């Protein structure tokens, strides 16, 4: 069976999840007790979308930034049906010890995803953790093992899998066989999102616990780029644009084409255009994720113009019968030869959810993504109620995150990497195997 036939067979046996999270049964009647770790931009986006689809009681919030924490406490109290203000914490360990939580959301910087997730599942909570799940490969392996051992549901914030127009594109184009044999996939990001500044070290603000924020990561001098959000400029806290943007599109394509681990990963690029910036992530990078009969190609550059202004961040799936372009905003199918072009766009639900309107939201919200987050939360709740696997299960999140991490390691080593997920090694490459685990700053201990 070739890939086209396999995808057609998948369409014939379409599961409930294919039809969209809105068709799931109503959640359990028991009110769920929820805690959020990381009250910044996306923490508030995720939590408030969860509150839109389920009458949860948010009992606790945690952040090392006391200003963000206080603002989030006020916002959540105003939106809760109960009107109760959540308890506020500066240390996630204290929060998890003080409450029996049904659900924990983890929306911290990437270097703080693994340890809170591990403790939350050990305490019996189901977890929603943002992508990428880890900063090194063995962290991710430990997270998958813990979720399976404890029997907890873990959904990863890769909501392309729950995006209405992308589900439509998968079913209407790929599963319908309109692409024919798929020969190649191109994924890309052309956003000018890498910091170009070179600010001097300064003292952290008194309301920000920089020691705790740094946690297991190396201690860098604090600058105006450190917090909030611009921490993504540094490899010490994440995995660059590969781990931030490629992971979304790579995961989307894996989901659409039913792909697992790539067999080999290679990468090239570096800091080629803006060497004077304090940022140490690449400004230009290409990567190849090899499968038996297909290559997935990634490109990002933080300079110049995108080849297609309609698709500055997305993926293009190339078949012998047509081409499918995909982004968070839209999709377009262009047949080769006769046949209609197909188009779809992001679902906006402003009438049903006026909290999505910028003037009402009180938080920065990516409007085309709001319906996807709601769908992702519904899928998460359904998996909790059924004690099943969500659409972006922790293992799927690990495959996508680890593959992007391995692309960065391939760039560093200047050679192709073939990871073995069974042995958790790179066979025949001791140096690459050592790079699967990053050192932790004492007293924090690596889980892998």
> Could you read off the pLDDT of 283-316 as tens digits, one per residue?
999 999 999 999 999 999 999 999 999 999 999 9
Mean pLDDT in residue range 20-24: 37
List, in order, residues 6 or more apart from 19 with CB less than 8 Å away: none
Instruction: Confirm whether pTM is higher than 0.75.
Output: yes
DSSP designation for 271: S
**Measured torsion, CA atoms of residues 205, 206, 208, 212, in degrees rounded to the nearest 10:** 120
Whole-angstrom CA distances from 359 to 76, 271, 349 are 17, 39, 15
Q: Locate tokens 């004690």: which residue?
A: 387
Cα–Cα separations (whole angstroms), residue 249 to 123, 182, 259, 343? 32, 17, 13, 19
**Of the candidates 371, 110, 44, 440, the residue with the CA atom closest to the CA atom of residue 244:** 110
Domain that holds residue 57: 18-160+389-393
Ramachandran bin of 10, using left for φ above 0, alpha for ψ from -120 to 50, beta for the remaining angles: alpha
pLDDT higher than threshold 60 for residue 5: no
Rounded CA gap, 316 and 120, in Å? Answer: 38
293: Cβ–Cβ under 8 A, 6 or more apart, which residues?
A: 2, 3
The residue assigned the tokens 């943002």 is 130
- Is position 376 within any domain? no
Query: Does the residue 295 lie in any domain?
Result: no
Residue 398 resides in a domain: no
Does some domain include residue 139? yes
pLDDT of residue 24: 38
The reply to whether 243 falls in a domain is: no
Alpha helices in 178-238 (DSSP H): 210-214
Tokens found for residue 70: 């206080």
Q: Does residue 37 lie within any of the structural domains? A: yes
pLDDT, tens only, 325-367? 999 999 999 999 989 999 999 999 999 999 898 766 678 888 9
Residues 6+ apart with CB under 8 A from 354: 360
Domain CATH code at residue 60 = 3.40.50.720
Intra-chain end-to-end CA distance of the chain, in Å:
38
pLDDT band, residue 265 (cuts 50/70/90) = very high
Q: Decide which of 98 and 9 is more confident.
A: 98
Shortest CA distance to 169 belongs to which of 7, 394, 386?
7
Separation CA 409–CA 433 (nearest Å): 10
Q: Is residue 307 part of a domain?
A: no
State mean pLDDT over 244-267: 98
Number of domains observed in the structure of the chain? 1
337 assigned to some structural domain? no
């Amino acid at each position: 069976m070739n890939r086209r036939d396999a995808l057609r067979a998948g369409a014939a046996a379409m599961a409930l999840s294919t039809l969209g999270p809105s068709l799931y049964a109503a959640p359990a009647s028991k009110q769920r007790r929820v805690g959020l770790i990381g009250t910044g931009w996306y923490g508030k986006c995720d939590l408030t979308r969860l509150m839109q689809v389920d009458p949860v009681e948010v009992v606790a919030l945690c952040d090392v930034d006391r200003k963000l924490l206080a603002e989030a406490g006020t916002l959540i109290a105003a939106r809760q049906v109960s009107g109760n203000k959540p308890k506020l914490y500066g240390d996630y360990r204290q929060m998890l010890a003080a409450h029996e939580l049904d659900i924990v959301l983890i929306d911290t910087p990437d270097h703080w995803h693994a340890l809170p997730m591990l403790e939350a599942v050990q305490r019996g909570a189901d977890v929603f953790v943002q992508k990428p799940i880890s900063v090194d490969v063995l962290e991710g392996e430990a997270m998958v093992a813990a979720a399976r051992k404890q029997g907890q549901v873990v959904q990863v914030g890769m909501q392309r899998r729950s995006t209405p127009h992308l589900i439509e594109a998968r079913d209407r184009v790929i599963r319908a066989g309109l692409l024919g044999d798929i020969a190649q996939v191109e994924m890309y990001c052309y956003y000018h999102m890498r910091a170009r500044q070179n600010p001097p070290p300064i003292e952290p603000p008194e309301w920000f616990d920089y020691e705790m924020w740094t946690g297991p990561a190396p201690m860098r001098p604090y600058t105006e780029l450190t917090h909030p959000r611009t921490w993504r400029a540094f490899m010490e806290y994440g995995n660059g644009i590969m781990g931030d943007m490629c992971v979304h599109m790579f995961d989307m394509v894996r989901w659409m084409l039913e792909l697992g681990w790539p067999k080999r990963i290679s990468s090239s690029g570096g800091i080629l255009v803006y060497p004077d910036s304090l940022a140490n992530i690449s400004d230009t990078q290409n990567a190849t994720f090899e499968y038996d009969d297909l290559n997935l190609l990634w490109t990002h550059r933080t300079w110049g113009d995108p080849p297609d202004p309609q698709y500055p961040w997305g993926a293009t799936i190339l078949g012998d019968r047509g081409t499918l372009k995909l982004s968070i905003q839209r999709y377009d199918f262009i047949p080769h030869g006769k046949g209609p072009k197909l188009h779809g766009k992001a679902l906006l639900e402003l009438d049903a959810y006026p909290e999505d309107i910028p003037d009402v939201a009180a938080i920065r919200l990516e409007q085309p993504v709001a319906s996807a987050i709601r769908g992702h939360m519904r899928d998460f709740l359904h998996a909790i109620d059924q004690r099943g696997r969500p659409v972006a299960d922790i293992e799927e999140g690990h495959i996508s995150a680890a593959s992007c991490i391995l692309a960065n390691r391939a760039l560093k080593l200047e050679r192709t990497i073939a990871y073995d997920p069974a042995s958790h090694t790179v066979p025949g490459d001791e140096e690459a195997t050592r790079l699967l685990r990053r050192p932790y700053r004492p007293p924090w201990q690596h889980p892998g």
